[in-house]
């Protein structure tokens, strides 16, 4: 097996190889550190690489394997993973995508990070995020922009853009991200990955409190549905004092994905739409991905019909709640980019009463949207309304114009942050421009298992994982080819 083959193996395969003594954690970590050193100067997917701590952890785990009973090992013992730079890892930098905070060192592990460590993962470093997680592209001032492994001129998405670029390019097997308005699903879509935004309450915010009235949540990015499901199992669970929570799935999400490959799913009622009311129709390439999936679902025996909720009532209150995050971050406004400064001013001009009224309006609108799912089990939508933008494409626009473009581009994603429903981004191949295409499947509240099973079947039957050619080597010698901008 070449180093490239190993790098693009699934996280579950890597864990199995380690557990059975065919691979050491040290060799695996070194494989990824070598690839990061070789490729990341072109991608900008990592903002910090903790090579020494990762190697030390890998050596300790490699030594532990000489006496450990494999049956007692946690599920991802010795497998590397990075953490998005919006989330705290004790002893590592946590800049929030703000250049002025590059030297800030976190003093604690967030709850999701603790679960990742308990599962046996080795932390590789921190992946790039947009400034304060505000944008659907990852180009924070003072950092290198994060580029798409399929074409370096294009964005990897945001705000979990670094995580998506790293997984797609084989710089890690899976990654942790977070989603407050499409920040997992968008990068997954841009880079040809599976990304899951879980249901509200599925993953703890501990030791922090609720943030932005529950619209944000952590989740997995992976190259396969099974790996994403397995990482979701790791991240899930209640922590004492959480303001809302869901019971652990029974059986596990990974088991649901595996079972879906062995037996057909009972016919589901599937809603399909290429229009996002009231924003408008998606680009033809995005429409085609939805139509392709709808045809496959109908051929699989599901009942497919046109339909989508109207999101008009949730747009303004969602924007008000979301903008408040720029102020709540506590970063001096002078340290922020012009668009975040503009968002800061927009939010700061409103009162606490305005915020609470917006939260109430958002909850009312969310109930109306969830009611749509009394007649369907799953809704298939575009992830974004048009394909990936180029790096820096909106850099010279006024803040108001940038924000208008953002709202229009990402409009299929935020409604499900408002309702707290689960959604999964699934790649559907490559478009005419050579960049990934995809859809999102939205489920009923707490129904991740249905989405995962359906996505696993679609993946197995029609959409096997694909890797960007510039990062999979020459195929014969085991040597890695350098990254390039394909045209």
Residues classed as catalytic: 84, 159, 183
CA dist., res. 459 & res. 453, Å (int): 10
Please provide the distance, in angstroms rounded to a whole number, between the alpha carbons at the two ends of the chain. Answer: 30
- Token match 């059975």: residue? 20
| Opening angle at CA 110, ends 107 and 116, nearest 5 | 120
CB-based contacts of 63, cutoff 8 Å, min separation 6: none
Q: Any residues with CB less than 8 A from the CB of 347 and at least 6 apart, and which?
A: 320, 323, 324, 326, 327
Cβ atoms of 174 and 82 closer than 8 Å: no
- The token duo for 132 is 């304060």
Q: Which residue has the tokens 């915020």?
A: 355
Count Cβ neighbours within 10 Å for each residue of 431-447 and write b for 16 or more, e otherwise.
beeebbbbbbbbbbebb
Neighbouring-strand partners of residue 222: 174, 194
- Relative to beta strand 46-49, strand 122-127 is antiparallel
How many whole angstroms separate alpha carbon 170 and alpha carbon 127? 14
Burial per residue of 298-309, b for 16 or more beta-carbon CB atoms within 10 angstroms, e otherwise? eebebebeeebb
Cβ within 8 Å of residue 110, ≥6 positions away: 87, 88, 89, 205, 206, 207, 208
Q: Which two tokens stand for residue 377?
A: 């089990």
């Amino acid at each position: 097996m070449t180093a490239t083959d190993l790098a693009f193996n699934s996280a579950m395969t890597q864990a199995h190889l380690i557990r059975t003594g065919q691979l050491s954690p040290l060799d695996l970590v070194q494989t990824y550190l070598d690839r990061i050193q070789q490729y990341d100067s072109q991608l900008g997917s990592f903002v910090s690489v903790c090579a020494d701590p990762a190697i030390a952890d890998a050596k300790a785990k490699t030594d532990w394997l000489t006496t450990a009973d494999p049956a007692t090992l946690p599920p991802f013992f010795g497998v590397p993973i990075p953490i998005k730079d919006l989330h705290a890892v004790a002893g590592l930098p946590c800049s929030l995508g703000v250049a002025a905070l590059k030297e800030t060192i976190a003093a604690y592990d967030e709850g999701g990070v603790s679960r990742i460590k308990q599962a046996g993962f080795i932390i590789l470093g921190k992946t790039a995020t947009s400034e304060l997680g505000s944008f659907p592209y990852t180009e924070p001032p003072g950092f290198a922009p994060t580029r798409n492994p399929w074409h370096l001129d294009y964005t990897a998405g945001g705000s979990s853009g670094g995580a998506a670029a790293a997984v797609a390019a084989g710089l890690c097997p899976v990654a942790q991200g977070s989603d407050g308005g499409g920040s997992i699903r968008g990068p997954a879509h841009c880079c040809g990955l599976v990304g899951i935004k879980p249901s509200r309450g599925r993953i703890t915010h501990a030791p922090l409190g609720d943030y932005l009235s529950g619209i944000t949540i952590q989740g997995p990015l992976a190259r396969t549905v099974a790996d994403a499901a397995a990482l979701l199992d790791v991240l899930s669970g209640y922590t004492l004092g959480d303001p809302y929570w869901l019971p652990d799935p029974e059986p596990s999400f990974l088991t649901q994905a595996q079972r879906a490959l062995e037996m057909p799913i009972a016919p589901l009622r599937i809603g399909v739409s290429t229009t996002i009311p009231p924003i408008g129709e998606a680009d033809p390439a995005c429409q085609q991905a939805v139509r392709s999936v709808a045809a496959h679902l109908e051929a699989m025996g599901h009942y497919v019909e046109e339909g989508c909720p109207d999101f008009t009532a949730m747009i303004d209150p969602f924007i008000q709640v979301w903008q408040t995050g720029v102020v709540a971050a506590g970063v001096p406004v002078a340290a922020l980019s012009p668009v975040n400064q503009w968002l800061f001013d927009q939010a700061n001009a409103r009162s606490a009463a305005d915020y609470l009224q917006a939260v109430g309006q958002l909850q009312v609108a969310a109930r109306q949207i969830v009611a749509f799912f009394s007649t369907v089990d799953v809704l298939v939508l575009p992830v974004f309304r048009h394909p990936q933008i180029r790096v820096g494409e909106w850099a010279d626009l006024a803040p108001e114009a940038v924000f208008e473009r953002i709202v229009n581009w990402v409009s299929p994603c935020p409604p499900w942050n408002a309702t707290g429903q689960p959604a999964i981004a699934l790649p559907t191949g490559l478009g005419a421009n050579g960049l990934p295409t995809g859809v999102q499947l939205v489920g009923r509240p707490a129904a991740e298992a249905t989405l995962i099973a359906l996505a696993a079947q679609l993946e197995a039957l029609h959409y096997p994982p694909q890797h960007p050619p510039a990062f999979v080597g020459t195929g014969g010698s085991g040597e890695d080819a350098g990254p390039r901008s394909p045209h």
